Structure 1
Amino acid sequence: MQHSNIGISSKVGRSVYLSKYEEKILDGEEGLVLQEAYKVIVKVGEILGAERLVPISKAHVSGISYKNIGDHGLDFINTLVKKGGKFRCYTSLNPAAFDLTKWREFRVTKEYYKKQVKIISSLKAMGARTILSCTPYLINPPKKNEQIAWGESNAVLYANSILGARTNREGGPLVIYEAIAGKAPYFGLRRKEERKPELFVDLSKLPKTTHPGIIGFYIGLLLKKGVPYINGFRFRNEYDIRNFLAAIGASSSIGLVLIERLSPELKSYDTLGFEERVSIDMKDITQCMENFQSDDLSNSVIALGCPHLSVVEFRKILNIILNKEISRKLVLFTSRITYNLIKGIIRCLERKNVKVYTDTCMVVSPLFNKDITIITDSVKAAYYLSSQGYKVHLVSREEAIRLSLVS
């Protein structure tokens, strides 16, 4: 491959082409921590076939909950801070292990609390916005074709599929290095050539009331990877789309699905040819749903907000329960930005004994005991909670709210 760009260097044995300035960084002339970041992303690029690095405008770091990363993750982040690491692009963070203002309700020790806060403060010291949410696309959405580096699977799928932005599914440590460098290896879903759909998925046999999360989860299980084209199913609202995408992310390594009438870049293809076609029917969905059904709801809690709830969703929930009595514990999760926008709604919900938490979610926090059944509308949450040893019961959003009310 030949490059005529001025300032391009190609050291022997390296497959990733760097500018002269990037070579200086890699040689340590701009500081050790930036050199470390470049070494990692260049090595990843070499392994995965990237021809160059590309600037990124946004990064989103996943895996910042102490429950997930423990002392090793804390030490890794602290070491970067001590070396003087700074983020070179807008960087947001995934949920932590508890609500920072209500942490005592999460059954954590003071030591656990201090370590989680240290993780957040260290990332903040490097320049991160402490918006602890899995929905960065609701807070600072990227534009079509914008190169970003996001590590949360539901956010990656939404950014790629609905907004037309460009990111791979990046691991937590890699995103941190990419944010420090302000660049990422140019491969995979960053390239238009890799974003064309390969497989036609026909959902026309499914009833319109089918749980979108289960559809997504089954598609992920079936395909595992690639870029599917989704046809024949109309999503009722924004949350159904997010639930669908989050579930695909939970059951596969897929980072982009192109959805009929929804994905903006479909307009850029004159024709679409598919090597394979798959049709999904209700039998497939029913069998998948059975994995997340509990026989015992006598000791249970309802948990909604995976992905985090939006302003519109809070309004809908309040409208349903406003003049009704709550009989089962209802717990809602959202971002602190959303919480601050709807404090009046939050007060109304809390007067009805509904719990609302920010900064965290049911999957990455130790909020619930394992002797209770968690009722949720999120397939992603049901999947990860069941893998952690919790009993789960998956229902629709409407059914979840109905189960919270006095019959």
Structure 2
Amino acid sequence: MASGRIVGAVDEHLTVGNVAESVGVSVRTLHHYDEIGLVRPSARTAAGYRVYSAGDMERLREVLAYRRLGFGLREVADLVDDPSTDTVAHLRRLRDLLRERRDRADAMVAAIDRELEARARGVDVTPEERREMLGARLYDAIGRAYPATRRTDPRIAARIWDALGDARTVLNVGAGTGSYEPRDRDVTAVEPSAVMRAQRPAGAARCVAAAAERLPFADRSFDAAMAVSTVHHWGDPIAGLREMRRVARRVVVLTFDACEPGWRDRFWLTRDYLPEFGDLLAGFPPLPGMADAIGARAEPVPVPWDCADGLFEAYWRRPAAYLEDHVRRAMSIWTRVGAQSERRAVRRLGDDLATGRWAERNRELAHLDAADLGLRLLVA
């Protein structure tokens, strides 16, 4: 971007104050964008004052639009500096993001309306039925946010792929957009969500529309079946695991242990800011029960401090990430606890980060490379 051009009285230009008033942000925000190189006024008046050109205003419009969609400053910089996009491409991308947000909200409203209707009829909605009722819609809702933060972490992948052993044919159950699918094996994916299936990249394994509890395959059709961070979305986890055991000689499942002593307190986010997490898992099968269902052993899977996969526990040493809306949207837990609990948790975490309370309370995490936060690999 050119800098330092002298503008005359006839040129169209705006001072920092003019811009702040016109776009509805503070002068301090504009100064910060200038300091970090995100939006720098590219011209100066004859008196030496920095002013914004029409091009600067176009860039600022794009920055503010991405920010209001929940993107962090670093991600916004990557988006607006993308050499493959122009103003039209940015507008199309923003339109698609807004449509996705609208569709996500519509999906959640439809799910809630369905439960309200059941309650109005006096139907006793059990936790299992609630999961079934919200399951597909919830997965569709969070699925639209997956590409932004959910990707394969190579260290977790190594554990999963090693557990697959010498399997050549692999069934990936609850496959989502295809993270952790091994490229060197013959993979078949199973995914009930149309939103997830539509976001699988070109060249990904063939994907079948089906649920874990009713796999459309004959007994022993595959060398191995895998399921990664998906069991908690299933209507009947035990039935799904038994189906995996039926269709494959080996089963590998990455899931969560919600029954060991003190499990509610092992992660600062659920301990200090989101206690509702424990209530949501009240009906989730205990890890020993899941292991017994398929004859599996359980192995801990520590989460690296710089985990590339934006799963719920990924940012345990990077707490500011949980303040970003697009990060939370790719985690089902935030949708399930509800907007009020989410706002409270985010507000309190933001306050504690600003005052240093979080750092003081969690200072022992600063030098850890990985943390055991309850992720477990079941191998049968």
TM-score, normalised via structure 1 length? 0.25
Structure with greater Cα Rg: 2
TM-score, normalised via structure 2 length? 0.27
Higher helix share: 2
